[in-house]
Amino acid sequence: MKISRTSSRIMQQTPQKQQLFLLAFVGLIFMLGLAFTFNREQFIRYKSDFFQRWYATTKLLEAGRNLYDDQNGAEALQIVYGDGVKPFDETNFYYPAHLLLFIMPLAAIPYQPAHFIWTVLVQIFIVIGLTAVMRTWHWPDKVLPISLYLIAVILSVPYFQHTIWGQFNSIGIMGLGLSLAALARKRYGWGGIWAVALTFKPHTTIITLAFLLLWSLFQRERWRFLLGFTLTGLVCWGVAELAQPGWVWDFVQAVKGYTAVINKASGQNDFGKQAAVLSSIIAAFALFWKQRRASVPSPAFAGCLALSAGISSLAIPIIGMFHVLIFPLILIPLLASYQAYRSRWYRPALVSFIAIYFLGWLGFLGGFLAAPGMHIIWSETINKILLPLLVIGWALPLCFVSRPRHLPE
């Protein structure tokens, strides 16, 4: 009897595994096709953020030039636009130098194949992060909803924008997903190791990282998270230090020159806005403190995680919609928690996020009928403002769950 039940379970799992394999294969073909298409367009290829950082890395390797030297950005601009273009701040290297761990191997080959490889990798990183969290929270739990969710992500406006510009946010998405999967299995050391991925583009996930570090302080077994994070961070610093000695000071000085980009992204001199941002961050950390003993996975942890991402998105001024790609990952534990513990609110939550998704596309497509550039402005308004507000709105009720509980296996 036991053997027959086991055989029946295996037979049921086999078609699902085959379907998932087919989904992965089709997805890979799509990613390769998208990368190939963008790689053929010279303007897209050289306008990519990856080009400017790849160029600075090649100069470091060939001539020993400082990664953060403004000359790198000026020369990259000249290559893209030709002579007579005034340098602007976005072209400089405003990342921690341990990003070299990803860029340096690609700087050893010509730019066009390097761009193709990177454009494929940034997409794979996103899927790895999403898959790790799906398997941990068991949401979605069937092939069809898994397929629909992944298709919705890779056909979203932020996904295309992130891929076109060769952004680095997906490193953090992959790392966060793998970190959460490790934490749910109480492999805290591995969770800390993977969380270091959030430091490659730190300003986009700084509050989420701070939440995880705070959360890890209050139980002895979680200190392994801090140990894994610290040791891996030191390794990353050391590798970057070998390539460019004294890079931390250079990085700090370079970031001070980022004010033009910050002012372009948002009105940072607005006292009222600064006060609102500071107040919301303080309130969020008060809730993180309240739920500092929440387990993973639990509704309280999912709520605090989503709140950290929502506050980060609204508080940190960022150009573009690249950073909102963290929300498809964040929504998995959020919606899984509503389905398991607040079931009557699950459908309204799910429908609200589906509505925002299609509203984002409607704003993007409808903007083409208005003035030039409105398709980006309308889409950004929905994805950078309304989506984070919606995430915060659904996260807050979970943040007040009094007794952290594990989701069912």
User: CA 156, 160, 165, 168: dihedral to nearest 10 degrees?
Assistant: 50
Contact 363, 378 (CB under 8 A): yes
Cis ω before 140 (30° cut-off from 0): yes
**CA angle (183 as vertex; 178, 186 as ends), nearest 5:** 135
User: In b/e form, how buried is each residue of 46-65, taking b as 16+ CB within 10 angstroms?
Assistant: bbbbbbbbbbbbbbbeeeeb
What tokens were used for 249?
A: 């000071």
What's the pLDDT score for residue 408? Answer: 41
Residue identified by tokens 């919705």 is 152
| Three-state SS annotation for 183-212 | HHCCCHHHHHHHHHHHHCCHHHCHHHHHHH
Cis ω before 297 (30° cut-off from 0): yes
- Identify which of 121, 116, 123, 117 has the alpha carbon closest to the alpha carbon of residue 39: 116
What tokens were used for 391?
A: 């995430």
Handedness of CA 67, 208, 360, 33 (dihedral sign): positive
CA distance 189 to 180: 12
- Identify which of 210, 132, 144 has the alpha carbon closest to the alpha carbon of residue 178: 132
CA distance 35 to 29: 10
DSSP codes joined into one string, 59-116: HHHHH---TT-HHHHHHHHHHHH-TTPPP-GGGS--S-GGGHHHHHHHHTS-HHHHHH
Q: Which residues, given as ranges, of the chain have pLDDT below 50?
A: 1-3, 404-409
- In one-letter notation, the amino acid at residue 368 is F
What pTM value is reported for the model?
Answer: 0.92
CA distance 17 to 135: 13
What's the pLDDT score for residue 372? Answer: 85
CA distance 309 to 176: 11
**CA angle (11 as vertex; 8, 16 as ends), nearest 5:** 130
DSSP codes joined into one string, 328-390: HHHHHHHHHHHHHH-HHHHHHHHHHHHHHHHHHHHHHHHHTTSSTTHHHHHHHIIIIIIHHHH
Span 192-247, pLDDT tens digits: 999 999 999 998 899 999 999 999 998 999 999 999 999 999 999 999 999 999 99
What's the pLDDT score for residue 312? Answer: 93
User: What's 127's DSSP letter?
Assistant: H
